Amino acid sequence: MPKDPSSASLAVQVPGGGFSGPHHVAIIMDGNGRWATQRGRPRLFGHHAGARRVREVVEACPRLGITHLTIFAFSTENWKRTQVEVAGLMSLFRRYISREMRALAAENVRVRFIGDRVRLDAKLIELMDELERLTAGNTLVNLTIAINYGGRDEVARATRRLARDVAEGRLNPDDVDEETLPRYLDTRVLPDPDLVIRTSGEARISNFLLWQSAYAEYEFIDTLWPDFTAAELERLCRSYGKRDRRFGGVKP
């Protein structure tokens, strides 16, 4: 049974600078292709450069008070890309997991994957399972990697499971409220994101965490993902600390 992080003994750290930052940051890591094109290189060169940025960002989380980091690596729509790019990305994910597995485990990072695994190859699924298993007891940072993830697909799959529970008598339709569906989502053990960052200058969500981001704060920044740094993450966390989150209410 996965532990519910809200009840886990995750000491929420106050960032070094004493500001009140986001606890859950979600990132749409966009712009790898353009970064490579600007350098006259194939798109996959940008994806490899992008993957290398992840470690610095994960390592910055504890001092910024970030307990949960969720990163969008491949969407349900990304299958529309060329076979070469898709195959290159799948191979990159396998290599990334194999290469980073020991470091993530040693750095007390708990890794989870969200998204639909059915279209992924068996070797990749095996590596994902292994990384989840190996880091299951870790508590410093919860890193969630979204692969073949789409918010609409996630809600559709959740609804299918919910409908099955109703049909088989485990759930009463009159008891379905806005607390019910999240228990069927891939993110069921995760808190909602406080801050969603998208790099590369596009101001859209592209099907990321649709249900969960209802009250998230957003940052759309021009930096292309392979140029993103821990310093920029810190700047965005500080700026988040100055925002007034009202959740529909009125502050006295």
Cβ atoms of 159 and 184 within 8 Å: the answer is: yes
Spatial CA neighbour of 197 closest among 165, 221, 175: 221
Catalytic, out of 78, 116, 165, 207: 78
Stretch of 25-33, 40-48, 85-93, 156-164 contacting Mg ion, by CB under 5 A? 25-33
Spatial CA neighbour of 145 closest among 221, 74, 244, 233: 74
Judged by beta carbon distances under 5 to 8 A according to partner kind, the member of Mg ion, ligand IPE, none in contact with residue 28 is ligand IPE
Token readout for 229 is: 């740094």
Computed from CA positions of residues 195, 62, 199, 81, in that sequence, does the dihedral angle turn out positive or negative? negative
Residue 99 half-sphere exposure, CB side, CA atoms within 13 Å? 11
Binding Mg ion (rule: CB under 5 A), the pick from 23, 24, 29, 30 is 30
- In the shown chain, the binding pattern of residues 77 to 96 toward ligand IPE, with x for contact by CB under 6 A and - for none, equals -x----------x-------
How far apart are CB 84 and ligand IPE at their closest, in Å?
A: 13
Judged by beta carbon distances under 5 to 8 A according to partner kind, the member of ligand IPE, Mg ion, none in contact with residue 206 is ligand IPE
Please state, in angstroms and rounded to a whole number, the distance separating the CA atoms of residues 22 and 240.
7
Shorter beta-carbon distance to Mg ion: residue 101 or 221: 221
- In the shown chain, the binding pattern of residues 176 to 215 toward ligand IPE, with x for contact by CB under 6 A and - for none, equals ------------------------x-x-x-x---------
Shorter beta-carbon distance to Mg ion: residue 30 or 194: 30
Count Cβ atoms below 10 Å from residue 225 Cβ, excluding itself: 26
Stretch of 7-15, 29-37, 99-107, 118-126 contacting Mg ion, by CB under 5 A? 29-37
Please state, in angstroms and rounded to a whole number, the distance separating the CA atoms of residues 87 and 100.
20
Q: What residues are annotated to the active site?
A: 30, 78
